[in-house]
Amino acid sequence: MELDLRWPLFFFANLLLIALLRLVNDTVSLYGFYFCLPGLLTLLPALHVPPRWGIPLCLATALFYAAPYSEKIAPFLVVYGLGYVIFRQFSSQLRRFRRFQLLTALAAANTLLILIQSALLSPEVGILPYMQRVMVDAMLSAILIYPVGSWFIDLQYGAMQLFGTDPRADAPPQ
C-alpha cells in the first residue's frame, strides 16, 4: 500500500497561505478591507484528497484560520466543511475546466462561502454597515482569487511533483 502524501502537502500549503493572508490582512485592515479565501483553501483538497482525509484537512485548516477568533470557531468549521463538500460534489466537472474557468468557478464559490460565513458571524445590531463591508470584502477577494489562486495552484502542484505524485493524473487541465 502506497503512502499518500497529498493531504500533508495541502495542509502545509494551506498554512502558508493562511500566514500570508494574515500578513496582508493586518496591513489592509487599516483601510477597512479584509481578504478571505475559504474557497481557495478547500478547492484542491476536494479535487485530490479522498473524504477520509479531505474533511479533517479542511476542518484543521478552518481551526488554524479561525485561531485569532477563538470565540466564534463554529462558523469557520461550517464554511470550510461546506466548501469541501461543494467542490467534492462538482469535482468531476471542475477537473475538465481550464485554468481561467477553474479560477472563475472558484471566485464564485468563494464569494458564496464569504457570504455564508458573514451571515453566521453577523452582529445582532448594525447589520447594514456590516453587510456593506462584507460586499466590498467579497468583491476584492473575488478579484484577488485570480493572481493568488493561480500562484497557489502552481505551488501545490509543484509540491506534489516534488514528492513524486503526478498532479495531472487526476488534476484539472492547465
Q: Which among 120, 117, 138, 114 has a CA at the least distance from the CA of 33?
A: 138
Contacts 24+ apart (CB under 8 A), 76-82: 76/117, 78/116, 78/117, 78/120, 79/38, 79/113, 79/116, 79/117, 79/120, 80/38, 80/41, 80/42, 81/55, 82/113, 82/116
Is residue 156 helix, strand or coil?
Answer: helix
Please tell me the predicted confidence (pLDDT) of residue 114: 87
The full set of domain ranges for the chain reads: 6-169
pTM to 2 decimal places: 0.80
Per-residue pLDDT tens, the chain, 174 aa: give them.
Answer: 455 667 787 888 888 888 888 888 888 878 877 888 888 888 888 888 888 888 888 888 888 888 776 677 888 888 888 999 989 888 888 888 888 888 898 899 988 888 888 888 777 666 777 788 888 888 888 888 899 988 988 888 888 788 777 666 654 433
Please tell me the predicted confidence (pLDDT) of residue 168: 61
Please tell me the predicted confidence (pLDDT) of residue 174: 39
Please tell me the predicted confidence (pLDDT) of residue 67: 78
Q: Positive or negative CA dihedral for 129, 133, 136, 139?
A: negative
Alpha helices (runs of H) in 49-96, residue ranges in sequence order? 51-65, 74-89, 91-94
Please tell me the predicted confidence (pLDDT) of residue 173: 39
